[in-house]
Structure 1
Amino acid sequence: MVDPRKRVLVTGGAAGIGRAIAARFLAEGARVAICDADRGAVEAFACEFPDAISAAADVTSEQEMATFLEEVEAVWGGVDVVCANAGTGGPAGPIENLSYAEWQRCIATNVHGCFLTCRWAARLMKSQESGLIVMTSSTAGIMGYPLRSPYAAAKWAVVGMTKTLAMELGPFGVRVNAVCPGAVEGPRMERVIANEAAARGESEEAVRQSYVTGVSMKTWVQAEDIANSIFFLASDAGRKISGQILAIDGHTETLA
């Protein structure tokens, strides 16, 4: 079980995986704060979960994140679990066809957002000598991913950050792990499939099917699968797990 007094912060928490994480902890009575760049999704989240702290904030904006994180710190005084989850799929296509602006946007959301979130979490957790940080990487962070070079590069960077921060913060009683979701069923993945289909010159159905055939268990992942794994990491049963890269994907054999 997770201590219901735990203070849990989730970036990109108003939809998809982030929302599932927030809902899982809220169901157990934990205190939860989320931010998301999608203002409409934040408003919908706030209506459903009025006891949670929720804010519209872009993880690539140092000022917006500072405002959100300062509010959370003022209310809670500290934090126990931080899920640096916000991300974007980025563009699809051969690298020679991608613009520098597309590259920068993908790296900023997936990497800079983790940096701003973890920098704040590290300060608080070191002072309280406890805490858990979980970053959302991807199976693309442990494998090559043709036609998705910005996304793969960003998610590999998240893995490197996870390993490094586990070393930096471990002596202070702070654990750092990353989860690597596979193909998570939902609207976000449908957008990814559409982009990849256009880049490959294939039908969306063919691309959709490739995500199943490339997985040993021949199945999609649900957002709740990711949330349940993070909930375990935050429980007493996971208290010695740190520096680990946990793939939750039914075993991806290939992304090619």
Structure 2
Amino acid sequence: MGCVFVTGASRGFGRGIARAFAARKANLALLARTESDLNQVADEVSKEGARALVLTADMTDMEAMQSAMEQAAAHFGTLDTLVQVAGANAEMGPFQDFTWERWRTTIDVDLHGMFNALQAALPIMRESNQGQIIVISSSAAMAMTPLNSSFCPAKAAQVALTECLRKELVAFGLTVHCLCPVLTPHGNIGKTAIPRFAELFGMSAAQVLEQRVPSPHLTAEDVGQAVVTLTETTEGGVWKVDSAGLYPWSFEDFNRAALTIGM
């Protein structure tokens, strides 16, 4: 299967994606900021028969990302698939209470970090005239919920950038996808967002789970399987994933979501 480079691989969706590719005996370049957590994931995927390279870097550091991509390509001899998972936690609250620092943290990690990963990977991937880029965004990209005015715009920008690249890079043999998981208590975002939703809207966490989170709940394993499926799809696009499966998601669907999911 060649080399699969997974950012944000130390936990949550990134870990689930790494494990899904390990079942296919892929060569895995695993990147995050915390080496100890990455080593644990590397041990897990190695037991599945996958080869793993552990890389630590800050997504907002372009030079560090370039070095990581070059190390992966040198180690495995190729860079076939980039799965961009790493992102910031949702900073929720009234917009008027946002500081520049809170806003910038979300945009820096979700959008500028994605920019750095793509810029670092593309020169290597274009040399082979084939490959897959899969960006993990969120259904929040077009849900546009109130009190979520940094996370939602950042995720919407990820979708827009992915769509631009999908049309641009097809000429170079690269397939580009954007995967939008629904909110789940099993993801890193859900673990922080659900209690915050409850606090901001005067609900209990149990009420948020019952009323606002699709059931049965999406798991990291579901996301991992969806990403593996996308690597077998030759036509890029935007996709929604929940526990029931993987669906193409158009901008018309996004607009419907904006009308029906708002809180």
Same fold (TM over 0.5): yes
Q: Report the 3-state secondary structure (helix = DSSP H, G, I; strand = E; otherwise coil) of the residue aligned with 1:149.
A: coil
Q: Does 1:219 align with 2:226?
A: no
Residues 54-88 of structure 1 deviation map (CA, whole Å, 9 limit, x = unaligned): 12222122233233222112213331111011112
User: What residue number does 1:58 align with?
Assistant: 58
* Alpha-carbon distance change, 187 to 229 in structure 1, aligned in 2, over 3 angstroms: closer
* Alpha-carbon distance change, 25 to 254 in structure 1, aligned in 2, over 3 angstroms: same
User: What residue number does 2:194 align with?
Assistant: 193
More deviation in 66-75 or 78-87? Answer: 66-75
Q: Which amino acid is the alignment partner of residue 219 of structure 1?
A: P
| Aligned ranges 1:244-255 → 2 under 5 Å | 244-249=237-242, 253-255=260-262
8 A Cα contact 2:65 2:120, kept in partner: no
User: What residue number does 2:127 align with?
Assistant: 127
More deviation in 92-101 or 38-47? Answer: 38-47
Shift of 1:198: 2.7
The TM-score, its normalising length taken from structure 2, stands at 0.86
Identity, % of aligned positions: 27
8 A Cα contact 1:211 1:255, kept in partner: no
Q: Does 1:232 align with 2:229?
A: yes
Structure 1's unaligned 5+ residue stretches are none
8 A Cα contact 2:57 2:64, kept in partner: yes
The TM-score, its normalising length taken from structure 1, stands at 0.88
Q: Does 1:8 align with 2:1?
A: no
User: How much is the aligned-residue C-alpha RMSD, in angstroms?
Assistant: 1.9
Shift of 1:90: 2.5
| Aligned ranges 1:108-119 → 2 under 5 Å | 108-119=108-119
Q: Report the 3-state secondary structure (helix = DSSP H, G, I; strand = E; otherwise coil) of the residue aligned with 1:186.
A: coil
User: What residue number does 1:181 align with?
Assistant: 181
Residues 15-60 of structure 1 deviation map (CA, whole Å, 9 limit, x = unaligned): 1111111111111111011111233321322333353011222212
- For 1:14 and 1:87, the matched residues in 2 are separated by 12
- For 2:41 and 2:70, the matched residues in 1 are separated by 21
- For 1:227 and 1:165, the matched residues in 2 are separated by 22
User: What residue number does 2:146 align with?
Assistant: 146
Number of residue pairs matched?
244
| Match of residue 18, structure 1, among 14, 20, 39 | 14
* Alpha-carbon distance change, 111 to 26 in structure 1, aligned in 2, over 3 angstroms: same
- For 1:161 and 1:28, the matched residues in 2 are separated by 29
More deviation in 103-112 or 191-200? Answer: 191-200
- For 2:58 and 2:212, the matched residues in 1 are separated by 29
Q: Which amino acid is the alignment partner of residue 141 of structure 1?
A: A
- For 1:65 and 1:232, the matched residues in 2 are separated by 26
User: What residue number does 2:44 align with?
Assistant: 48
User: What residue number does 1:208 align with?
Assistant: 209
More deviation in 106-115 or 33-42? Answer: 33-42
Shift of 1:246: 0.2
8 A Cα contact 2:129 2:172, kept in partner: yes
8 A Cα contact 1:110 1:154, kept in partner: yes
Q: Report the 3-state secondary structure (helix = DSSP H, G, I; strand = E; otherwise coil) of the residue aligned with 2:119.
A: helix
More deviation in 46-55 or 122-131? Answer: 46-55
- For 2:64 and 2:203, the matched residues in 1 are separated by 39
Structure 2's unaligned 5+ residue stretches are 248-256
